[in-house]
Amino acid sequence: GCELYECNDITVKDKDNKYFHLICLIRNEQGRKDLNKVITKSNFEGFYFKPRCTIEDLKPYAENFVISSACLASKIAREDDFNKCIEYVNEYKTVFPYFYLEMQSHHHQDQCLYNQKILELSKITNTPFIITTDSHAPKKEDLYYQDKLIQIGRKSTNNDKNAIENSEVYEGCYMQTEDEIHECMDSQIGYENVCIGLENTNKVADLIDNVDMPFQSPQLPTFPLPERFKDNNEFLWHLIKQGWKDRGFDKFTKEEQQVRRTRLNYEMKVIHEMGFDGYFLFVWDFVNAAKKLGIEVGKGRGSAAGSLVCYCCHITDIDPIKYGLIFERFLNPERVGLPDIDTDVGDRDVIIKYLVDKYGEDRVCQIINYSYITPTVAITDVGKILGFPYNQMQKLSQKFTFDKWDDCIKVNPNLIHDNPQYADLFDIASHLSGRVKTVSIHAGGVGIVDTSINDYMPMKLGTKGEHVIQVDKHYIEDIGIVKFDLLGVATLNLVKEIKDDLHLDPWDYDINNAKFENDRPTYELLASGKTNGVFQVESAGMKDLLIRLKPKLEQLDFEVISVILALYRPDSMGALDEYVEMAIGGSRPPSIHPDMDKILKDTNYCMIYQEQLLDIVKKFGGRTYGGADLFRKAIGKFFCRLG
């Protein structure tokens, strides 16, 4: 269900057009979809400080809703004219066959008077009433922490008058038991009336089916095929054959061609058996559209660079055979999961518009992004409202560097015991850690569906009018929506501007042009560490690493650039100093096995790439690449648990 904001006219956007709370509960699965439509329309068309709707917006779906009159912020509560209130009740009853008046269990004087008003309206209009609790927290003891969260949001301290008053107002706003409701309300409306209200509340529960989110595997939308192709697989092979010539493979030696034919047949077998032909066509479509629209597209990033199909379809511009990239890192036949093709574009908004125009605005969405309160932030924020000195909290927060509170305590087991002066701080911070802090739009995720986004979840508007589904990237696929990764990279716009200004031929800046592997000015620039604005190598740590590896870069060693990008990742940081030392003349470690040496030779006998791990597991563990990739993921989870 949802607490809606009801107004008289969503087209009127001024302060005199007031809005009020109204509770809408769904009765069935269709009601869930209908409510999604109402919420989406409230955001898209009715937003004015709040997402607003009218009774007329709800009317077409009335059979699938249970409506209640809501709290002290409702239209009935805000109306002093009792006769007007009677009119409102009768209007609701005319539209909604399942309408209930609502009381709430709270000691506040305004709520007590309103409960008595509801009782009187119930008698006069012959309308059943229900009793609810205005739940701002699940348990009474949780209100304390909810109060602190509000203080952080309002930037107030424990001593602020407003903070104290706020705490008192919400004192009873938790999920009360039946006994607690009687204790609160018997003196307000009488024991028998409380029993009637609770019985009606149970009747409302009986009216509602067991409706839950339809969790399911991602449903790939239908790709609009050209008429002469019978299915996705046939069209994808058509694109591959075109790409074979475009990439010049027909001019390769017979041996080189056979290697690529074997690889393509294997990749397409895996893609087709896993049912992902259509996924590649969707990505090909928007990458192709971007290029036709003159938008700069990245050459290939992430595991998709290991796919020869992606290379032939011009989704990526990196030949995985040439660089020894492994397909199973991208798509593993032994692990069920969608492909993950990271596509970088210069002007993302234009491509989103292209997708909306082609597939429909109700079928395409961007994805909401929730950022959570980390232990580090919890310590500093709570410390502020408790009045601890800023510098003191900054120093303390450095001990809370993991994403989860429990992991921080495991690493510092005596921290709480040794610092009793922070007992309240630790208590509050532990309860607030992990809560949602801010809401934004995911930088890359785009969802496309066959029917309507509202069949899954409602949408809201972003600050620039973006259509954003209200479920984040962690759960988008769990509810059945396929996520495509389309990242806007401003650097690509700069590349395009320079290219246009210099009137460059596309081949002059194509990554497959051999001259770029030996372009001394480029290597010298990297070795200087002057890489502001250069994607992936602009951080202070990256600049330092580039400078330390200057001797290797000055040798025009292209492999070093790949190693640098791989080294500065959590999985490889432990090998960073060891690699640098050997790269600039240090002695190599003792040999473990000749076959191991072959795998690690190009990275100074340090395990840098995930592909190297796959090769080692395949060679020494007798696993397929698919099985080796499962092993890679398993040890990743194991080390995460170790912290």
Give residue-wise pLDDT tens across range 124-133.
999 999 999 9
User: Sign of dihedral through CA atoms 422, 428, 431, 434?
Assistant: negative
**Among the listed residues 283, 287, 296, 247, the one whose alpha carbon sits nearest the alpha carbon of residue 509:** 296
Q: How far is CA 125 from CA 87, 89, 92, 199, 476, in A?
A: 9, 7, 11, 19, 45
Residue 536 CB contacts under 8 Å (≥ 6 apart), including other chains? 542, 565
Put simply, whether the predicted model's pTM sits higher than 0.75 gets the answer: yes
Predicted local distance difference test score (pLDDT) of residue 567:
81
Give the per-residue pLDDT at 164.
58
Average of per-residue pLDDT across 186-193: 96
pLDDT in tens, 558-612: 778 888 888 876 666 667 888 888 888 777 788 889 999 988 888 878 888 888 8
Which pLDDT score, from 0 to 100, does residue 160 have?
Answer: 66
| pLDDT reported for residue 643 | 44
Using an 8 Å Cβ cutoff, are 219 and 227 in contact? no
CA dist list (Å): 229 to 235, 237, 239: 6, 10, 12
Counting Cβ atoms within 10 Å, is residue 322 exposed (0-12), middle (13-18) or buried (19+)? exposed
Q: Residue 43: pLDDT above 60?
A: yes
Tell me which range, 150-154, 241-245, 529-533, 550-554, is most confidently predicted by mean pLDDT: 241-245
Question: What confidence tier does 383 reach under pLDDT thresholds 50, 70, 90?
Answer: very high
pLDDT(304) > 90 = yes
**For residue 639, pLDDT beyond 60:** no
Burial of 491 (0-12, 13-18, 19+ CB in 10 A): middle
What is the pLDDT averaged over residues 149-175?
74
The confidence band for 353, taking pLDDT boundaries of 50, 70 and 90, is very high
Q: Mean pLDDT over residues 10-35, rounded?
A: 94
Residue 641 has pLDDT above 50, yes or no: no
Q: What is the mean pLDDT of residues 349-363?
A: 96
Residues 6+ apart with CB under 8 A from 418: none
Rounded CA separation 304/359 (Å): 25
3-state secondary structure of 504: coil
Token pair, residue 328, equals 């199973």
Query: How does pLDDT run across 86-104, given as a tens digit for each residue?
Result: 999 999 999 999 999 999 9
Query: How many CB atoms are located within 10 Å of the residue 88 CB?
Result: 20
Note the pLDDT of residue 570: 61
Question: Averaged over 424-441, what is the pLDDT?
Answer: 94
pLDDT band at 165 (very low <50, low <70, confident <90, very high): low
Stretch 614-625: mean pLDDT: 87
Indicate whether 403 pLDDT > 90. no
Q: State the burial class of residue 114 (Cβ atoms within 10 Å of its Cβ: 0-12, 13-18, 19+).
A: buried
Q: How many CA atoms lie within 13 A of 395 on its CB side?
A: 5
| Better-scored residue on pLDDT, 602 or 183 | 183
Residue whose C-alpha is closest to residue 390's, from 431, 382, 428: 382
Question: Is the confidence at residue 166, as pLDDT, over 60?
Answer: no
Given a cut of 50, whether residue 640 has pLDDT beyond it is: no
For the segment 290-295, the average pLDDT, to the nearest whole number, is 95
Break the chain into its structural domains and give their ranges.
2-135+176-207, 375-433, 499-640
Q: Which CATH superfamily is domain 2-135+176-207 in?
A: Metal-dependent hydrolases (3.20.20.140)
User: Does the pLDDT at position 168 exceed 70?
Assistant: no
As to burial, measured by CB atoms within 10 angstroms (0-12 exposed, 13-18 middle, 19+ buried), residue 495 is middle
Q: What is the pLDDT of residues 229-278, one digit of tens each?
A: 999 999 999 999 999 999 999 999 999 999 999 999 999 999 999 999 99
Question: What's the confidence (pLDDT) of residue 169?
Answer: 61
Interatomic CA distance for residues 171 and 174, integer angstroms: 8
Tokens of 614: 């796959």
Average pLDDT, the chain: 90
Nearest CA-CA partner of 483 in 444, 436, 425, 531: 444
Please say if the pLDDT value at position 290 is more than 50: yes
- pLDDT (0 to 100) of residue 642: 43
